Copies of this chain bind each other. A is one copy, B any other.
Amino acid sequence: MNSQVRQQGGADGTVGKALEVLDQVADKGRPVRFSELLAETSHPKATLYRLLQTLTNQGMLAYDEDRQTYAPGLRLVRLAHSAWRQSSLAPVARPYLTALAQKVGETIHLAQLDRGQVLYVDKMNAAEPIEMFSQAGKVGPGYCTGVGKAMMAFLDADDRQDAINRQAYFAHTPNTLTTPDALAAELDRIKAEGVSYDREEHEPGIICIAAPILSSTGRVIGALSITTSTSRQSFDGLEQHRAALLRTAQDIAGAAESWQFPT
């Protein structure tokens, strides 16, 4: 039913269940009725009811009395504000992204890895002005995006295997890698080469070149990509930007390193 990756393995207690419900509501992308959630969940009526009550009570969900629907609550927006500022690369990387976007004239994505999935934390659309949350916070698959593969390639063995296992391997296009083995092989190539490509593996006509952002100790902290469409640019065109991309990735890594919070 859901071609996305499963995320929370084991439920840790009540909190885990509550957050699972929260995700369920959020994933819907629109206000949901109690019964709709009930149909999808394994929890009995009363349990689901109380979980929703608690979450609503806490402002994590908003309940529309008129329509009898639940939607993600504003408290999340408040919390995310902190999360974005602290745990994401975005604030630090902003200036570098801007510079790169202007230089290459293509769309730049900044992403981080969240449980095997790609979480876009910033986007720069050379031409148009920035779109807020409409882009930051979006998630995408790890196995068929440039940034996803770039980050996975540089994980250590355990985490890498874990990430490989979490993928959904849905064939979005004829070029999509659809087996763990194929992905693993591609990751090896990427690690050797230093950059990854999306060869229309996610959406037809969309290609990109991506590079990981690595800390001085070699840990993956994010990735950066230059995206374009086959109608605008050839693959060779992207290749031209390789140096600038790698340079920017390094710059961001450096900035992130030095800008650790004052303790």
Q: Are A87 and B114 in contact (CB under 8 A)?
A: no
Q: Are A132 and B90 in contact (CB under 8 A)?
A: yes
Give the residue of B58, B91, B112, B137 whose beta carbon is less than 8 angstroms from that of A84.
B137
Q: List residues 22-79 of chain A with CB under 8 A from any CB of chain B.
A: 22-23, 25-27, 29-31, 51, 53-55, 57-60, 62, 67, 71-79
Chain B min CB distance to A158 (Å): 14
Q: Are B74 and A87 in contact (CB under 8 A)?
A: yes
* Cβ contacts A128-151/B at 8 Å (1 or 0 each): 011011101111000000000000
Give the residue of B14, B19, B58 whose beta carbon is less than 8 angstroms from that of A8.
B58
**A105 interface hit (Cβ, 8 Å):** no
**A201 interface hit (Cβ, 8 Å):** no
Give Cα A7–Cα B60 distance, bound, in whole angstroms. Answer: 13
Name the interface size band of chain A: 35 or more
Give the residue of B30, B60, B75, B138 whose beta carbon is less than 8 angstroms from that of A81.
B138
Q: Are B132 and A130 in contact (CB under 8 A)?
A: yes
Please, which residues of chain B bring their CB within 8 A of the CB of A23? Answer: 79
Chain B min CB distance to A183 (Å): 22
Give the residue of B8, B83, B129 whose beta carbon is less than 8 angstroms from that of A129.
B129
**A13 interface hit (Cβ, 8 Å):** yes
Chain B min CB distance to A263 (Å): 8
**A184 interface hit (Cβ, 8 Å):** no
Q: Are A77 and B86 in contact (CB under 8 A)?
A: no
Q: Are A16 and B54 in contact (CB under 8 A)?
A: yes
Please, which residues of chain B bring their CB within 8 A of the CB of A83? Answer: 26, 71-74, 76-77, 80
Q: Are A27 and B82 in contact (CB under 8 A)?
A: yes
Give Cα A101–Cα B263 distance, bound, in whole angstroms. Answer: 39
Tell me the nearest residue of chain B to A26, going by C-beta.
B82
Give the residue of B15, B71, B260 whose beta carbon is less than 8 angstroms from that of A15.
B15
Q: A residues near B, CB below 8 A?
A: 7-8, 12-16, 18-19, 22-23, 25-27, 29-31, 51, 53-55, 57-60, 62, 67, 71-88, 90-91, 112, 114-115, 119, 121-122, 129-130, 132-134, 136-139, 260-263
11 contacts between A and B (CB under 8 A): A13-B54, A15-B15, A26-B82, A26-B83, A29-B86, A67-B263, A71-B87, A77-B137, A79-B137, A90-B132, A130-B130
